[in-house]
C-alpha cells in the first residue's frame, strides 16, 4: 500500500491523525507537524489543494525528485457527505464550502447570492454535482483565437489532456442497451486516477425525454459527450465505479501516492505571494482559523509559486500581493508591484434559471411518474442500494442533457447576433474599466456574436433528470462580466468582494428569453411530447410577452452555476490578459496560475472536466521548462 505525506498544523494534528487512519487504515501515511517537518524550501509551492492544485502536484512529483508543497485552506478529510453519489448534492450540503455572499445585484432587485466553492482538500471537485461534461470544439478554439498565430490552446491541443485527465469506464451493457445509451471511447483515456463512470440504473423517462428532441428540427445526437459537438447526449459522472463513491482530485491525485517529495499542509490560508522585485520567491500562510495576520509561516519556492486557489480566490491572492489593477489596490491601501488591470476582471459564471415542467403521465410505458409515486419501486431502490450499491441511488444528478446552438433554438439568431456586434461593448463594463480589459471584452463579444449565429457553440442547456419533473435551464455563454476584487474594508484580506454584475449586458435577457421559449416549445409544440400532458409549473403560462419574461428572469435568475472563471484570463496583455499561453503571470517571474480562473471565456458545459484538462496541460508546460512552447507528451 502506498501513502503520501501529510503535514498538519500542531493544532489539527490529532484530529487529522484519527481521521486519516480511519479513512486509510491500510496505508502508512506520514503525518508530521509543521514546526519540525516543513522543508526550508520546495521546488514548487502550490496555493490551493483543489481540482487543479492536486492534479499539478501529482504530475510534478511523479519523478520522485521534484519537491512540491501544496497549501490548502480547508481540512484534509473525506466525510461520508462528500463520498455520497445519490442526488449529486451531498458535497454541496456538506458544510465544506466558503461562506461568501455576492454584493447586491443591482439588476436582480439588489438580491445577493451565495458564492459557492469547496473549502476542503479536493476543492470544488469534492463538493460538485459530479456532472462530467466538456464544451464544444469551438469553445476551446475560441481561447487560442485571442492570440495571434496558431495557439495550441484549442480543441486539438486540449484533446490529449482530456484523455489524460479522466479514466473512462463504460456503462453496464444491460443498462446501456435498455436505455439506448451511446458512447464512444475514442474521446477518452484509461490511465487517470480520477474516474468518469456510470450509474447502474437509468430512469426510462431519461431516454424518452432525450428522444423527444427528435421532434424538433436541427437537433443533433453526437453519440458521445466528449466529441466536442453540441446536441443531445449521455454523459458520465465523477464516480469510482467499484466503490460507487465520488472520484475527485483527492482520491485521484493525492491518496495512494507514496512520495516523500509530495507534501500537503491543510487548514492553512495563504495570505500573500512573496516577491523579490517582481520575482515570486515563496508565500506566507497562517492557520485557517486565525482571525489576524499573526503566526505567519513563510515557505520558499526555489522554482515557482503556482496559484491554484480557483476562480474566486486566485485573483484575490494576486491583488493582496500587489499584482492587479492599480486603482483597486490603491483604494485598499495595497502597494502596487505589478499594475495588471485584468486581475479580478472578466468574471463569468453560468446563469441558471428555474423552469419546472411536470410530466403527469408520459404516454410511453413504463412511466417515470409511476415509478416515483410507487412505494414498491422506492423500497426496491433502497434495498438494491443497501445490498449491492446499485439502482437509482447510484445516479448523481442524472446523465443526459440537451446542449443546443442558438440558431437551433431561435429564429432570431442572426438578428440577435447582429445586435451584439453593433453594441458599444465598453458601455457594459464598469465605468473605469482599463482600455486593455475593454479591448478584451470587445474581442470576446465579436467571437460570441459569431457563435450566436453558428451551429458549433451551444447556448441552451436543459438538464434531463429523468424524473416526473424537470427544471433547470442554463445560459452557457453569458455576455455580462463581473468582478472579484479585494474589499477595502477588510484589511486582513479574508473575503473578496464578488460582483457577478448579472444582466449588466441587457442582451442576456434577450438570450435567456429565447432559451425559455424554446423549452416551452419543446414541451408543447412537439409531436413527441404532445401526449405527455405536461404542465408548466414555473414560470407558468401567464408569462408570455418579452416584458413578462424579463420580469421573471430578474426575479428568478441565479447568476451562478458555481462555475467561476475568467478572473486571471489567459489572453494577450493588450486584451487585458493576466497570464500568457504558458500560464505565467504577466510582469512577473516564477509565478503561474493553473486553475479555472485562466479560462478567458466559459466553455459550454460544467467546468470541472475542463479544469482537470487545463491542469494536466499546465503540468506538461511546467515540466517542459518555462518559456518553451508546450507540447503534448501524452499519447493520443
Ligand atoms: C457546488 C458546486 C457544484 C458544481 N457542480 C459541477 C458539476 O456537476 N460538474 C462540473 O463539471 N463542475 C461542477 N462544479 C464546478 C467545478 O467543480 C469547478 O469548476 C472546479 O472544481 C474548479 O477547480 P479549481 O481548481 O479551479 O478550484 P477548486 O477546486 O475550488 O480549488 C481551489 C482550492 O484552493 C483553496 N484555496 C482558496 N484560497 C486559498 C488560500 N488563500 N490559501 C490556501 N488555499 C486556498 C480552496 O480551499 C480550494 O481547495 C461545481 C462547483 C460547485 C462549487
Ligand atoms: C513507500 O516509499 C518508501 C520510501 O521510498 C518505501 O520504503 C516503501 O516500500 C514504499 N511503500 C510502498 C507500499 O510502495
Ligand atoms: C438597489 O440599491 C441601490 C443602492 O443602494 C438603490 O439605489 C436602488 O434603489 C435599489 N434598487 C431596488 C430595486 O431596491
Ligand atoms: C468514434 O469516434 C471516432 C472519432 O474520434 C470515429 O472515427 C468513430 O467512427 C466513432 N465510432 C463510432 C462507433 O461512432
Ligand atoms: C444551423 O442550424 C439551423 C437549424 O437546423 C439551420 O437553420 C441553419 O441554417 C444552420 N446554420 C448554419 C450556419 O449552418
Ligand atoms: C533578490 O533579487 C536580487 C536580484 O536578482 C538578488 O541579488 C537578491 O539576492 C535577491 N534577494 C533575495 C532576498 O532573494
Ligand atoms: C500561534 O501558533 C501556536 C502554535 O501553532 C499557538 O500555540 C498559538 O496560540 C498561536 N498564536 C496565535 C496568536 O494565534
Ligand atoms: C395515462 O394516460 C393513459 C393514456 O392516455 C390513460 O389511459 C391513463 O388513465 C392515464 N393514467 C393516469 C394515472 O392519469
Ligand atoms: C411499481 O413499480 C414497479 C417497478 O417499477 C412496477 O413493476 C409496478 O408495476 C409498479 N406498481 C404499480 C401499482 O404501478
Ligand atoms: C445483489 O447482487 C447479487 C449478485 O449479482 C444478486 O444475486 C442479488 O439478487 C442482488 N440483490 C438485490 C437485492 O438486488
Ligand atoms: C461607448 O461607451 C463608452 C463607455 O460608456 C463611452 O465612453 C463612449 O463614448 C461610447 N462610444 C460611442 C461611440 O458611443
- Distance, in Å, from the CA atom of 446 to the CA atom of 439, rounded to the nearest integer, reads 11
> What is the tens place of the pLDDT at every residue in 484-526?
999 999 978 899 999 999 999 999 999 999 999 999 999 999 9
> What is the tens place of the pLDDT at every residue in 256-299?
888 889 999 999 999 999 999 999 999 999 999 998 888 899 99
The percent helix, strand, coil of the chain (3-state, each to 5) is 35, 20, 45
- Best mutation site among 134, 170, 184 for ligand 4 pocket (most ligand atoms within 8 Å of CB): 184
The rounded Å distance from CA 634 to ligand 7 centre is 46
* 360 pLDDT tier (thresholds 50, 70, 90): low
Does the C-beta of 372 come closer than 6 Å to ligand 9?
A: no
Q: Is residue 417 in some structural domain?
A: no
Q: Is residue 31 in some structural domain?
A: yes
**270 annotated to a ligand binding site:** yes
pLDDT of residue 567: 99
Q: Return the CATH number at 338.
A: 3.50.50.60
pLDDT of residue 15: 27
Ligand index nearest the alpha carbon of residue 227 = 4
- Tell the residue nearest (CA) to atom 8 of ligand 8: 361
Q: Is residue 504 in some structural domain?
A: no
Report the atom number in ligand 5 closest to the C-alpha of 408: 4
The range of the structural domain enclosing residue 308 comes to 5-79+249-347+567-635
- Is 318 in contact with 273 (CB distance < 8 Å)? yes
Q: Is residue 229 in some structural domain?
A: no
Q: Is residue 379 in some structural domain?
A: no
Q: Write the burial class of residue 260 (CB in 10 Å: 0-12 exposed, 13-18 middle, 19+ buried).
A: exposed
* 74 pLDDT tier (thresholds 50, 70, 90): very high
DSSP character at residue 160:
H
Domain count, the chain: 1
Q: Is residue 72 in some structural domain?
A: yes
- Best mutation site among 9, 271, 295 for ligand 7 pocket (most ligand atoms within 8 Å of CB): 295
Q: Is residue 630 in some structural domain?
A: yes
> What is the tens place of the pLDDT at every residue in 363-375?
455 555 656 667 8
Q: Is residue 171 in some structural domain?
A: no
- Best mutation site among 40, 275, 276, 301 for ligand 6 pocket (most ligand atoms within 8 Å of CB): 276
Does the C-beta of 223 come closer than 6 Å to ligand 4?
A: yes
The rounded Å distance from CA 110 to ligand 3 centre is 6
pLDDT at 8 over 60: no
The rounded Å distance from CA 85 to ligand 10 centre is 20
- Is 264 in contact with 6 (CB distance < 8 Å)? yes
Q: For the whole model, what pTM was predicted?
A: 0.93
Q: Closest Cα to residue 344, out of 329, 334, 359, 330?
A: 329
Amino acid at each position: 500500500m502506498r501513502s503520501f505525506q501529510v503535514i498538519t498544523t500542531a493544532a489539527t494534528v490529532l484530529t487529522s491523525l484519527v481521521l486519516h487512519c480511519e479513512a486509510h487504515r491500510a496505508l502508512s501515511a506520514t503525518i508530521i507537524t509543521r514546526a519540525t517537518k516543513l522543508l526550508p524550501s520546495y521546488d514548487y509551492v502550490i496555493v490551493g489543494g483543489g481540482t487543479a492544485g492536486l492534479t499539478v502536484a501529482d504530475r510534478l512529483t511523479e519523478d520522485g525528485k521534484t519537491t512540491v508543497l501544496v497549501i490548502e485552506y480547508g481540512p484534509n478529510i473525506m466525510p461520508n457527505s462528500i463520498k455520497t453519489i445519490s442526488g449529486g448534492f451531498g458535497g454541496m450540503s456538506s458544510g465544506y464550502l466558503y461562506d461568501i455572499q455576492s454584493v447586491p445585484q443591482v439588476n436582480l432587485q439588489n438580491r445577493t447570492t451565495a458564492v459557492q466553492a469547496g473549502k476542503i482538500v479536493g476543492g470544488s471537485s469534492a463538493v460538485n454535482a459530479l456532472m462530467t461534461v466538456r464544451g464544444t470544439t469551438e469553445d476551446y478554439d475560441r481561447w487560442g483565437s485571442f492570440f495571434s498565430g496558431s495557439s495550441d490552446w484549442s480543441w486539438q491541443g486540449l484533446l490529449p489532456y482530456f484523455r489524460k485527465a479522466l479514466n473512462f469506464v463504460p456503462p453496464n451493457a444491460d443498462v446501456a442497451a435498455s436505455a439506448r445509451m451511446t458512447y464512444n471511447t475514442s474521446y477518452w483515456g484509461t490511465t487517470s486516477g480520477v474516474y468518469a463512470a456510470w450509474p447502474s440504473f437509468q430512469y426510462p423517462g431519461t431516454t424518452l425525454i432525450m428522444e423527444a428532441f427528435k421532434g424538433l428540427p436541427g437537433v443533433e445526437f453526437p453519440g458521445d459527450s466528449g466529441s466536442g459537438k453540441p446536441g443531445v447526449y449521455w454523459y458520465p459522472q465523477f464516480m469510482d465505479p467499484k466503490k460507487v463513491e465520488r472520484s475527485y482530485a483527492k482520491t485521484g491525485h493525492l491518496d495512494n501516492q507514496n512520495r516523500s517529495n509530495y507534501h500537503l499542509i491543510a487548514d492553512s490560508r495563504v495570505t500573500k505571494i512573496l516577491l523579490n522585485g517582481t520575482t515570486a520567491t515563496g508565500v506566507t500562510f497562517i492557520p485557517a482559523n486565525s482571525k489576524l495576520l499573526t503566526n505567519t509561516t513563510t515557505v520558499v519556492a526555489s522554482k515557482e509559486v503556482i496559484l491554484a486557489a480557483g476562480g474566486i480566490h486566485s485573483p484575490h491572492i494576486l491583488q493582496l500581493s500587489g499584482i492587479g489593477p492599480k486603482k483597486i489596490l490603491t483604494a485598499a491601501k495595497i502597494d502596487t508591484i505589478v499594475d495588471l488591470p485584468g486581475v479580478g476582471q472578466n468574471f463569468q459564471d453560468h446563469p441558471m434559471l428555474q423552469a419546472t415542467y411536470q410530466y403527469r403521465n408520459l404516454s410511453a410505458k413504463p412511466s417515470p411518474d409511476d415509478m416515483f409515486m410507487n412505494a414498491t419501486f422506492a423500497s426496491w431502490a433502497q434495498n438494491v442500494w443497501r445490498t449491492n450499491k446499485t439502482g437509482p441511488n447510484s445516479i448523481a444528478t442524472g446523465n443526459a442533457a440537451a446542449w443546443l446552438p442558438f440558431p437551433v433554438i431561435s429564429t432570431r439568431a442572426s438578428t440577435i447576433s447582429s445586435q451584439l456586434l453593433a453594441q458599444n461593448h465598453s458601455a457594459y463594463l464598469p465605468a473605469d474599466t482599463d482600455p486593455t480589459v475593454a479591448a478584451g471584452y470587445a474581442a470576446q463579444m465579436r467571437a460570441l456574436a459569431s457563435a450566436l449565429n453558428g451551429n458549433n457553440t451551444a447556448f441552451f442547456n436543459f438538464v434531463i433528470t429523468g424524473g416526473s419533473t424537470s427544471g433547470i435551464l442554463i445560459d452557457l455563454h453569458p455576455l455580462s462580466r463581473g468582478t472579484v476584487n479585494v474589499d477595502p474594508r477588510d484589511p486582513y484580506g479574508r473575503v473578496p468582494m464578488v460582483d457577478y454584475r448579472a444582466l449588466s449586458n441587457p442582451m442576456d435577457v434577450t438570450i435567456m428569453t429565447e432559451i425559455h421559449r424554446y423549452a416551452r416549445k419543446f414541451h408543447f409544440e412537439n409531436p413527441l411530447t404532445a401526449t405527455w400532458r405536461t404542465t408548466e409549473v414555473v414560470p407558468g403560462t401567464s408569462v408570455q410577452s418579452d416584458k413578462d419574461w424579463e420580469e421573471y428572469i430578474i426575479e428568478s435568475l441565479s447568476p451562478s452555476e458555481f462555475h467561476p472563471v475568467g478572473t486571471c484570463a489567459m489572453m494577450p496583455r493588450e486584451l487585458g490578459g493576466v497570464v500568457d499561453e504558458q500560464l505565467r503571470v504577466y510582469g512577473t517571474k516564477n509565478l503561474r496560475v493553473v486553475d479555472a480562473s485562466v479560462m478567458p471565456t466559459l466553455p459550454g458545459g460544467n467546468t470541472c472536466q475542463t479544469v482537470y484538462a487545463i491542469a494536466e496541460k499546465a503540468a506538461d508546460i511546467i515540466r517542459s521548462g518555462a518559456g518553451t512552447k508546450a507540447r503534448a507528451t501524452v499519447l493520443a
